[in-house]
Structure 1
Amino acid sequence: MVITCRDKSPGETMTISLYAHRLSQPSRAAEILLRELGIAYDWQEVDFANGETREPHFAEQINPFQTIPALVVSGDDPDFVLGESHAIMRYLCRIAADAGGDAENAQHWYPGDRDARRSARIDQWMAWHHNGIRRYDMFHDIMNLHLTLPMLKYELQSTALKPLQDGLRSGLATLEAHFERQPQDTPAAPTLCGDAHPTLADLTITCELYQIVAVGYRFDRYPQVAQWLNGMAERDHFKRVSEEVLEQGRTIREASGDYLELDAFA
């Protein structure tokens, strides 16, 4: 399926394919950025839950890291293949003009060498994302709880989910304190760099946290974080790409919500 967010330029030969799945946080971040930049792309859904990323054809031809998202740019010989969402998003901002996208908008998301200090701040938060937020990803354990027998659900909540919740609180507190330190004249919806326009860092981390917002978790204890998340979630492309995870979250909440501590951050 080719998803076109713009008209192709005459004579354009670059073709971008995104190998991803919308229940994957990094996949959604990469796809949202493609749409924000107005870059047309070929969507290739990867059944990562059933091990497609570990099949030989994927590891040999698409991404030797055996993860999603992965980006394949055709038009040169050989194709340019790239894994890891952070690298993919920085690359997309750098090639937006060549890909027929909005180069000026790309500078808002990630300015690269044009503004070394602002890029460094974005890079800092994207690096922090791995250990500050992503290491406490709860969604896969929530899925396991949802699919297991009722007699085991409370045990999974206690042994698997509670330690992740405890760890995530530290990251949420770091974010909350950061937003509280920002000047009072910052935009109504906070951003990590204090600008009116969000960056790759905002997109990366909010996609991560939105995964459990979809299930029904609230961040009342962290009002600045909640406001920041809501601001990102109201963006049109964020909403459209998040429809699938919202539906999955609704299914989990209706079937297994009683077993989850949905007020863990409230």
Structure 2
Amino acid sequence: MKVYGDTLSGNCYKVKLILALLGIEHQWQHVDILNGETQTPEFLAINPNGKVPTVLLDDGRILSESNAILGYVADGTNLIPDDRFLKASVYQWLFFEQYSHEPFIAVRRFIQQYQGMPPQRVEEYHSLQAGGIKALSIMENALKTNDYLVGEKLTIADIALYGYTHVADEGGFNLADYPAIQAWCKRISEQTGYVPMRS
């Protein structure tokens, strides 16, 4: 398996993390997003959408979209519940991550951490705060009563949301306001095989 990605991207880090947790051998091909490497003719031939992560499977097929990759890699493992409702709950969190979390947490982090807060994006940056706080508050409430997002076992829902949540401070969110999230982050970082975003 060959993974095209930039590990400082939370979406790419999710893939790096799940492969490490499951002990799956792979080749990592660094793709520099900021230098436009996802828009080269060579990369667009692999993924016409010009985004990472993108995975080249052993059989030559290509898979993109981080949460789809998580589902593929985790299929048949204990990271996806067998119970029908719990499995649907995992998917619910995956959709939440992409539509109610990532557009606020990740985008603010990108503007602050990688673009250095350009004047033309300051207003947008501030407009994203409320959505990010709402997403973190929903997670906080869920984690007050459970060790993980779906029951008491780590699933791909946790991996998906950990990607950008554990570095939310880089987008101006104070994780000290969310003790249950902090405890959850610690539990994930103590998993066998865990690798940090920055190694």
* Equivalent position SS for 1:141: helix
Partner of 2:165: 209
* Equivalent position SS for 1:241: coil
Distance 1:217 1:128, change over 3 A: closer
Choose from 168, 175, 193 the match for 2:150: 193
Aligned length: 197
Distance 1:233 1:160, change over 3 A: farther
TM-score, scaled to structure 1 = 0.67
Q: Conserved in 2, the CA contact under 8 Å of 1:19 and 1:43? A: yes
Same amino acid, percent of matched pairs: 24
Whole-angstrom CA distance in 1 between matches of 2:193 and 2:167: 16
Partner of 1:42: 27
Partner of 1:255: none
Q: Which moved more, 1:38-47 or 1:212-221?
A: 212-221
Letter in 1 for 2:176: D
Distance 1:43 1:207, change over 3 A: same
Partner of 2:124: 160
Which ranges of 4 or more aligned residues in structure 1 deviate by more than 6 Å?
A: none
TM-score, scaled to structure 2 = 0.87
Partner of 1:175: 139
Partner of 1:121: 89
Q: Conserved in 2, the CA contact under 8 Å of 1:22 and 1:241? A: no
Partner of 1:21: 6
Partner of 1:139: 109
Q: Conserved in 2, the CA contact under 8 Å of 1:17 and 1:43? A: yes
Q: Conserved in 2, the CA contact under 8 Å of 1:141 and 1:160? A: no
Residue 212 of structure 1 and its aligned partner are, at CA, apart by: 2.8
Q: Conserved in 1, the CA contact under 8 Å of 2:113 and 2:170? A: no
Letter in 1 for 2:83: D
Residue 144 of structure 1 and its aligned partner are, at CA, apart by: 5.0
Structure with greater Cα Rg: 1
Q: Deviations over 1:94-138 (max 9, x none)?
A: 2xxxxxxxx6xx2x2114xx4322211100100111122101021
Partner of 1:81: 62
Whole-angstrom CA distance in 1 between matches of 2:53 and 2:68: 10
Q: Which moved more, 1:34-43 or 1:203-212?
A: 203-212
For structure 2, list consecutive stretches of 5 or more residues without a partner in the other structure. Answer: none
Choose from 32, 48, 53 the match for 1:64: 48
Whole-angstrom CA distance in 1 between matches of 2:33 and 2:42: 13
Distance 1:162 1:147, change over 3 A: closer
